[in-house]
Amino acid sequence: MNSFSAAERAAIYRCIAERRDVRRNFLPRPVEDGMLRRVLEAGHAAPSVGFLQPWNFIVIRKEETKAALHGAFSRANAEAAAMFEGERADLYRSLKLEGLREAPVLLCVTCERGRAGPVVLGRTHQNEMDLYSTVCAVENIWLAARAEGLGVGWVSIIAPDDVRAILAIPEAIVPVALLCIGHVSHFETTPELEQVGWRQRLKLDDLIFEERFGHRSGGDEG
């Protein structure tokens, strides 16, 4: 049995627990090529349905590209802010929700849905599994980056069509994640949205059911 040592297991769980969605505190220090390569290799090692490996990785460093993406974010963020009311709207507008101009590197992770043809093992009944596989690659990147001391922030408040146009992504390819990546001054001990009171972490025990949805041990029906 090829098991991990106690120290190795502790490192993995620590990395998971200390991963943060980073939107600020980026340093101007460049991300070393070897470090970025290791992070991308972690993404490429992600599980994928039918061994499809549907991802592509677009590395972005040019300021003019970052500025275009920031403009698209700003438009979407204004639209999103208008969806909230009262104190919630005020709190939303106070949040920093991206690091597109500050991060040394941006990374767009895409899903090439037609990579293996019209019929793919594992997608015959759940066609979206290639998208889920791509998200697994994003998580691998996030954890590998944290282990390297790099902060990562996922910018989701942006229209996919804007991302596609700015990065010349073909229509058939789906932009799944736009990530800000870079060295940071520090990592927060708790998620920022938890700190400001937007949401609190849910209790794990409230989310675990047995045998069927809503059924908990001891006969407690949630």
Three-state helix/strand/coil letters over 52-65: CCCEEEEEECCHHH
Write out pLDDT tens, residues 111-138: 999 998 889 999 999 999 999 999 999 9
pLDDT tier at 219 (50, 70, 90 boundaries)? low
Q: Residue 73: count other Cβ atoms within 10 Å of its Cβ.
A: 23
Write out pLDDT tens, residues 163-180: 999 999 999 999 999 999
What is the distance between the alpha carbons of residues 107 and 80, in angstroms, rounded to a whole number? Answer: 23
What is the distance between the alpha carbons of residues 222 and 213, in angstroms, rounded to a whole number? Answer: 9
Write out pLDDT tens, residues 26-41: 999 999 999 999 999 9
Cα 187–Cα 192–Cα 194 angle in degrees, nearest 5: 130
pLDDT tier at 220 (50, 70, 90 boundaries)? low
Mean pLDDT, rounded, for 57-75: 98
Over 90: is that where the pLDDT of 94 sits?
A: yes
Question: How high is the pLDDT of residue 217?
Answer: 79
Confidence (pTM) = 0.95
Residue with more model confidence, 1 or 213: 213
What is the distance between the alpha carbons of residues 125 and 54, in angstroms, rounded to a whole number? Answer: 17
Mean pLDDT, rounded, for 210-218: 91
Over 60: is that where the pLDDT of 221 sits?
A: no
Mean pLDDT, rounded, for 140-168: 98
Tokens 């800000």 -> residue: 180
Over 90: is that where the pLDDT of 151 sits?
A: yes
Domain positions in the chain are 22-187
What is the distance between the alpha carbons of residues 90 and 84, in angstroms, rounded to a whole number? Answer: 9
Over 90: is that where the pLDDT of 10 sits?
A: yes
Which helix (H) or strand (E) is 75 found in, with range?
helix 63-81
Over 80: is that where the pLDDT of 141 sits?
A: yes
- State the chain's maximal CA–CA distance in angstroms: 59
Mean pLDDT of the chain: 96
201 and 194 Cβ atoms separated by less than 8 Å: yes
The class that CATH gives domain 22-187 is alpha beta
What is the distance between the alpha carbons of residues 203 and 135, in angstroms, rounded to a whole number? Answer: 24
Question: How high is the pLDDT of residue 18?
Answer: 97
